[in-house]
């Protein structure tokens, strides 16, 4: 999840995870304060994920490169 708002479906592809599994763990990351979720401005079916300050701090501790980059 980049600051621009990564679609939840793209996160699933990037980490090579089942979209249903991502749907289950995203609420946990939101509850822990690492992510916030907002609907897409033009397509309400798309959920965009944004890192919070706490999420950026956590991510900075790990070297993570999305699949395909």
Using pLDDT thresholds of 50, 70 and 90, give the confidence band for residue 58. confident
**What local confidence, expressed as pLDDT, does residue 1 receive?**
44
E strands, 12-59, are 35-39, 47-51
CA–CA distance from 68 to each of 32, 37, 38 (Å)?
Answer: 28, 24, 25
Stated pTM of the model:
0.76
**What local confidence, expressed as pLDDT, does residue 62 receive?**
80
Is the pLDDT assigned to residue 2 strictly greater than 50? no
Q: What is the pLDDT of residues 3-47, one digit of tens each?
A: 479 999 999 999 899 999 999 999 999 999 999 999 999 998 999
Return d(Cα 47, Cα 9) in angstroms, integer.
Answer: 8
């Amino acid at each position: 999840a980049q600051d621009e708002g990564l679609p939840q479906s793209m996160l699933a592809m990037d980490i090579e995870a089942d979209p249903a599994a991502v749907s289950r763990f995203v609420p946990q990351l939101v509850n822990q304060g690492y992510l916030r979720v907002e609907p897409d401005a033009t397509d309400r079916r798309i959920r965009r994920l944004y890192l919070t300050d706490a999420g950026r701090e956590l991510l900075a501790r790990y070297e993570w490169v999305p699949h395909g980059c």
